[in-house]
Amino acid sequence: MKPTEGPEPGNHTLMTEFVLYGLSNHPELQRLLFFTFCLIYTITIIGNLLIFMVTVHPTLRTPMYFFLRVLFFLDISTASIVVPKMLVNFLSQDRSISYMGCATQLYCVIFLAATECYILAAMAYDRYVAICNPLRYAIIMNTRVCLSLVLLSCCSGNVVSVVQTAWVFTLPFCGPKNINYFFCDIPPLIRLSCTDTSLYEKQIIIATALVIFTPFCLILVSYACIISSILKISSVEGRHKTFSTCSSHLTVVTLYYASGTSIYLRPKSIFSQDAKKFLPPYTSITPMLNPLIYSLRNKDVKEVLIRMMAELMKK
């Protein structure tokens, strides 16, 4: 991808950088936003690293916690791609980002987001096997299968990201170079193009539907089978205990897929670009909440966490 030039002969200026407007144009809000997102980012990093270390404990070395570690790594990476640059821009007059830097940020965000969609589907399949085929769980969800699912998720995410990023940056950007957003994302970028993007906007909806609804359908099928198996359990306590192992995952799936759908499948006429600035929790809020959800609603994680904290306090 090369920086694009203006379309008019004699006025071909290279688009070598963009300017990120951020969340707000009001100077009095910049420090408040800085401290708010600095706190969110700090909690995100500490929370994900802490639960990551907890799930490495010998008692938690099962496929479910292997996928959780991958999820936490993706969350840390997503937040780190977006939030640090945003924090710098809150306190800086220079909010520019290079052409290649913008392309790299877009690629990374799409890759991580798409990969997480598929990882959540793999986690649903893991829960399906654990509940519907408990006696064969260790055989079906062996190390090779788990690694293959993660690799397949990453490859799928990479294909989606390469195609979408390449398509966006083949559009001619003639100016202005101001991105009315806090990171390089598809909707605000295509607004800067000086060509008709109606076809591309339709392509975004189709691509988003495939990336979101394909794994989401797999999740629905998995949980339909899970619910069917749970209803066959005669004990109320047994049904509750079995379903509780899925509640954390269902909460994360709801948050993640709802945020992606609200951004990329919403008609452009309903919300202005300014309103959409506050809609993508998958870049900061969801990565912060995920470790809290899995630690507060998982008995095994809480027990290991308490045990580790007690051992640290003794030292």
Determine the longest span between alpha carbons in the chain, in angstroms: 79
Query: What share of the chain has pLDDT > 90, as a percent?
Result: 32
Beta-carbon contacts of 126 under 8 Å, excluding residues fewer than 6 positions away, are 63, 64, 67, 141
Percent of the chain's residues with pLDDT above 70: 88
Order of strands, edge to edge, in the sheet holding 17-20? 96-98, 17-20, 178-179
Q: Residue 12 pLDDT > 50, yes or no?
A: no
Q: Which of 119-133, 156-170, 179-193 comes out lowest in average pLDDT?
A: 179-193
Q: Nearest-CA neighbor of 128 among 141, 115, 139, 117?
A: 141
pLDDT higher than threshold 50 for residue 8: no
Taking only the tens place, the pLDDT of each residue in 252-292 is 888 888 777 766 665 454 344 544 555 466 778 888 888 88
**What gap in Å lies between CA 226 and CA 195, rounded to an integer?**
49
Contact 35, 48 (CB under 8 A): no
Residue 301: how many CB atoms within 10 A of its CB?
21
pLDDT mean over 142-171: 93
- Give dist(CA 271, CA 93) in Å, integer: 28
> Looking at residues 289-301, what average pLDDT do you find?
79
> Which of the residue ranges 68-82, 268-282, 301-315 would you say has the lowest mean pLDDT?
268-282
Contact of 273 with 182, CB cutoff 8 Å: no
Query: What is the Cα–Cα distance from 186 to 204, expressed in whole angstroms?
Result: 8
Mean pLDDT of all residues in 85-105: 89
Strands (E), the chain: 17-20, 96-98, 178-179
Q: How far apart are CA 16 and CA 18, in angstroms?
A: 7
How far are the Cα atoms of 33, 66, 112, 158 from residue 178, in angstroms, in the given order?
20, 41, 25, 27
For residues 201-225, give the mean pLDDT: 85
**At residue 250, does pLDDT exceed 60?**
yes
* pTM across the whole model: 0.86
Q: How confident is residue 222, by pLDDT bands cut at 50, 70 and 90?
A: very high
- Choice between 131 and 241, residue whose per-residue pLDDT is larger: 131
pLDDT digits (tens, 9 = 90+) for 13-51: 456 789 888 777 777 788 888 999 999 999 999 989 988
61: left (phi over 0), alpha (psi -120 to 50) or beta: beta
Higher pLDDT, 104 or 203: 104
Would you say 33 and 90 are in contact if contact means Cβ atoms under 8 Å apart? yes
- The amino acid occupying position 2 is K
**How is residue 38 written in tokens?**
């600095």
Asked whether the beta carbons of 129 and 229 are under 8 A apart, the reply is no
Q: Which residue has the tokens 């379309």?
A: 7
- For the chain, how many residues are written? 315
The angle subtended at Cα 173 by Cα 168 and Cα 174, nearest 5°, is: 170
Question: Measured in whole angstroms, how far is the alpha carbon of residue 176 from the centre of its chain?
Answer: 29
